[in-house]
Amino acid sequence: MKILVFTVLAAAGIQSLSACDCCSVFSACNLQAENEKGFVAGVAEQYTHFGTLQMDGTKTAGNGEYLDSFTLQIFAGYNFNNRLSVQLNLPVIYRAYGSHTLSADTAGLGDISLTGNFRVFQHTGTDWSFNWSVLGGVKLPTGDSRDLTIADDALPDGIGGHDIALGSGSVDGLVGSSFSVKWKRLFLAGSAQYAIRSTGDFGHRYANDWTWSGGPGAYLWLGQRGTLALQVVVSGESKYKDTFGGVADGDSAVTAVYLGPQVNANWGGRLGVQVGVDLPVSIANSGLQIVPDYRVHAALTFRF
């Protein structure tokens, strides 16, 4: 039973990474078996390739503009009991961008975050189980925000300083929730996060944003020592326009929906692995922006 509970909670808890490339916080707080406490740690990586130029949601011709974003989150947390846990995330970011006539890159530490997770409700039965958790936390301005000052005409079309900056210079709040329900070999799991932004460096304020994901899945293998599950995940993000000195940035609002497969596996109730691909099915944006063609994400979590 612990193996089953672990896998279902993993499907709900580690999904946060496959949301917004720059703002989502990977949460492993739910990766725990029943009534067990201890440390949890691991790494999560997301690669996003931006290669399509859009004007107000419509594809337009470009000059080979691209942005490749790699976000590695190193995290560690502690489960006080089967309900309450905390987690610290340290993001390391690399972004390469350019066009047919320009190429550049930037790398460094992003904004760290500290979150707490509380399991509001849990039921575990023979054939079915249900879990619901809530999350709250804070992001701190540890990332380099200097690229926020880069003029748009110094960058390829569709790419702004807010797209490549490693940090915001702001202290932001985080709230969220996740759930999972299992019936025999089938399960449904999902999560959502909302970032409450404040004004950061250089008078720039990222807009508040929603990131969410979830979908149905089934166990392909159930064993005494581990499990393997396949999930179909629908994920998305939505944010309005950023502001600079109180003036709205016309090239920054976006609402995107993705669809893709995800594999969740565990061994011994302690080692968790996740691999998934997200393909855009709908992207609406304001102004001229470069938007994602696909995302690949993976995570490795170990519970002590």
pLDDT tens readout for residues 109-164: 999 999 999 999 999 888 899 999 999 999 999 999 999 999 989 999 999 999 99
Query: CA–CA distance from 283 to each of 17, 21, 55, 57, 58 (Å)?
Result: 19, 14, 11, 6, 9
Read off the tokens for 38. Answer: 């201890």
Query: Cα(18)–Cα(237) distance, rounded to whole angstroms?
Result: 10
Backbone angles phi, psi at 252, to 5 degrees: -135, -10
Give the H or E element holding residue 252.
none
Within 8 A by CB and 6+ apart from 188, the residues are: 180, 181, 214, 215, 216, 217
Would you say residue 79 has pLDDT above 60? Answer: yes
Query: Cα(191)–Cα(13) distance, rounded to whole angstroms?
Result: 7
Mean pLDDT of 275-284: 98
Strand order in the sheet with 243-244: 204-205, 243-244, 247-248
| More confidently predicted of 223 and 180 | 180
What does the pLDDT read at residue 125? Answer: 84
Query: Cα(266)–Cα(274) distance, rounded to whole angstroms?
Result: 9
C-beta atoms surrounding 226 within 10 Å: 19
Best CA proximity match to 13, nearest among 218, 192, 262 = 192
Query: CA–CA distance from 82 to each of 5, 151, 206 (Å)?
Result: 12, 49, 35
Best CA proximity match to 113, nearest among 91, 84, 146, 85 = 91
What does the pLDDT read at residue 32? Answer: 42
What does the pLDDT read at residue 165? Answer: 97
Best CA proximity match to 231, nearest among 267, 271, 269, 187 = 187
What is the model's pTM? 0.90
- Band of residue 222 on the pLDDT scale cut at 50, 70, 90: confident
Read off the tokens for 135. Answer: 């999350």
Beta strands in the chain (DSSP E): 38-55, 58-59, 66-79, 84-98, 103-109, 113-124, 128-139, 172-183, 186-196, 204-205, 209-222, 226-239, 243-244, 247-248, 254-267, 271-285, 288-303
What does the pLDDT read at residue 22? Answer: 45
Would you say residue 213 has pLDDT above 70? Answer: yes
What does the pLDDT read at residue 137? Answer: 97
Mean pLDDT of 71-80: 96
What does the pLDDT read at residue 28? Answer: 65
85-114 pLDDT, tens digit per residue, is: 999 999 999 999 999 999 999 999 999 999
- Band of residue 234 on the pLDDT scale cut at 50, 70, 90: very high
Q: Are 132 and 120 in contact (CB under 8 A)?
A: yes
**Is the CATH code 1.10.1580 the one for domain 2-303?**
no
